[in-house]
Structure formats: structure tokens, C-alpha cells
């Protein structure tokens, strides 16, 4: 047996894309983790399967798996890559399409320049919707490994925590980020962002992703950061979010409105992996 795949990335957030339109995906978590290993496999932040849609309003569906083989519910950079992959395969055209993500339908718009806009949905701040086992607050406060922290929380289809910092380059991703991502108050874990506000239209961000660790970019993390900080009155509606791998454009008109993400999707190589 062998696995044919496409390697793609969205500003450095990299993916193995697997075409499962004709047959179901049959790999287990151990096999997925082996493929995700950057020394003994292909390496990826997420593996994404492209599948027939189960929702009649959607053209196709996609599944998301982290490097450790666990399932993820949303991936903004991945959604852009799925749209670009489907377009190159001749399955969708330039313009608007609806895809079925693990967290529900997602509207994507393939632009002439090759960039993709994604409707990431309405940010959900209620603790039960994140989910977060704390009373509603902004900021939330916890003591993690002897350090008192304040953070915001939101669901963008997956749970996010965000900490404001003065210098994102010095953010403790591998210590505090990793610890908060598995804190028991987040029953499903969370992605942890560290945000540095440059001005009202520019933000710097680094993210520790549950199941994947530090990544060069996190699309839903960029959306979460803008949602939390704009809700606090610190950002305008349109914000450029600079991550280690590149910049995303986030547009959010406020409470009750969907949040849009705009960025590139790039092909790296095609491959076939013996299993």
C-alpha cells in the first residue's frame, strides 16, 4: 500500500493533503503521527483529508488531524489550502464555494490572484461554547506553574486562549503555552496565542497549537486574537496579523458578525509514501 499526498502550506503552516473523495481515509493515529514526524516521515502541522460532502449545501468536506494523530475541528490556513487544491484539481472554480469542516460549513472565496478568503464564522465567547470551565470573564485568571496569568478565550470552531505580551519574540510558548494548552479548565485543550499589539491595524502573534506545538502560523489563532482584542476596543475592524511564517488579513465588523481571513495557499510538492 502507498499514500499519495500533496504538501502545501499557508504562510508556513504546513499540511499533507490526502484525496479521499473516492475512498475513505483508513489510517490510525499511530500511522498519522509517523507520517507527521519531520525526521522519519513527511512532516506536517496537520494532515487534511478531502472527502465527499455529507451536508448537501457544501461542495466537499475535509477532515483535520494534528501531528500527534488527534482530531482537530478547524484550521483556517488549512481551509485555504483545501480550496486551492480543489481548484487545481478542477473541482471548484474561482469565486465562492462552501466546504464542510469538522466544525460545520465554511464559506471560501478563491480570488484571481490565488489568495483565498475564508468565512471563519462568528466568534463565540461564552465559556460553555469555548469550552472553558470558568465563570465568564475578560480577562480570565489562572495560576499556571506558579505564575499568575490573565487571558482571553474564544471559540473559532476550536478553543483558543490569548495572552497579551510586550514582546512576542520573548513569549514563553514551550513552557506557559504548552502548559495552558492542556490545562484542565479547557476540557478539550486549547490553542494558546501570545499577541503583541503594534497599533490598531497591526498585530504580531505566535501560537502554541494543541496536538502540534509551536507552528509558523495559525489561521484560527489569528482570528481568535483579533476577535478578543477588538472586543476589548484595542483594534480596528481590519487588522494585519504578522506570524513567524507571514501575514494574514483579518476583517471583523464586531459582535454577531462573521470574521473573514484572507491569505495565500501554496503548493510545495507531490509525493507517494509507502505504508
Residues involved in catalysis: 75, 218
CA 79 to chain centre: 9
CB 194 within 8 A of CB 220: no
Residue 237, all three cell numbers: 475592524
d(CA 96, CA 15): 23
Q: How far apart are CA 127 and CA 148, in angstroms?
A: 20
CA distances to 56, 135, 190, 251 from 131, in Å: 28, 11, 9, 24
Peptide bond into 209 cis (omega under 30): no
Question: Which residues 6+ apart lie within 8 Å of 113 measured at CB?
Answer: none
Q: Do residues 187 and 131 touch, judged by C-beta distance below 8 A? A: yes
Task: Say whether 127 sits in a helix, a strand or coil.
Answer: helix
Amino acid at each position: 500500500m502507498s499514500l499519495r499526498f500533496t504538501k502545501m502550506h499557508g504562510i508556513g503552516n504546513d499540511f499533507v493533503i490526502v484525496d479521499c473523495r473516492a475512498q475513505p481515509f483508513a489510517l490510525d493515529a499511530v500511522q498519522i503521527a509517523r507520517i507527521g514526524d519531520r525526521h522519519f516521515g513527511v512532516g506536517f502541522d496537520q494532515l487534511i483529508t478531502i472527502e465527499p460532502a455529507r451536508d448537501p449545501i457544501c461542495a466537499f468536506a475535509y477532515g483535520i488531524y494534528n501531528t500527534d494523530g488527534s482530531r482537530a475541528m478547524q484550521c483556517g490556513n488549512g481551509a485555504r489550502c483545501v480550496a486551492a487544491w480543489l481548484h487545481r484539481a478542477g473541482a471548484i472554480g474561482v469565486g465562492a464555494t462552501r466546504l464542510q469542516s469538522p466544525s460545520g460549513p465554511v464559506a471560501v472565496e478563491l480570488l484571481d490572484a490565488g489568495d483565498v478568503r475564508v468565512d471563519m464564522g462568528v466568534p463565540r465567547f461564552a465559556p460553555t461554547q469555548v469550552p472553558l470551565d470558568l465563570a465568564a470573564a475578560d480577562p480570565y485568571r489562572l495560576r499556571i506553574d506558579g505564575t499568575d496569568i490573565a487571558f482571553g478565550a474564544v471559540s473559532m470552531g476550536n478553543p483558543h486562549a490569548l495572552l497579551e505580551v510586550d514582546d512576542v519574540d520573548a513569549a514563553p510558548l514551550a513552557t506557559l503555552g504548552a502548559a495552558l494548552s492542556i490545562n484542565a479548565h479547557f476540557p478539550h485543550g486549547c490553542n494558546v496565542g501570545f499577541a503583541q499589539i503594534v497599533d490598531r491595524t497591526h498585530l504580531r502573534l505566535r501560537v502554541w497549537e494543541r496536538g502540534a506545538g509551536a507552528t509558523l502560523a495559525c489561521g484560527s489563532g489569528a482570528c481568535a486574537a483579533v476577535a478578543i482584542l477588538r472586543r476589548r476596543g484595542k483594534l480596528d475592524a481590519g487588522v494585519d496579523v504578522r506570524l513567524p511564517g507571514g501575514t494574514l488579513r483579518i476583517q471583523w465588523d464586531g459582535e454577531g458578525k462573521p470574521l473573514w481571513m484572507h491569505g495565500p495557499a501554496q503548493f510545495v510538492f507531490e509525493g507517494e509514501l509507502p505504508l
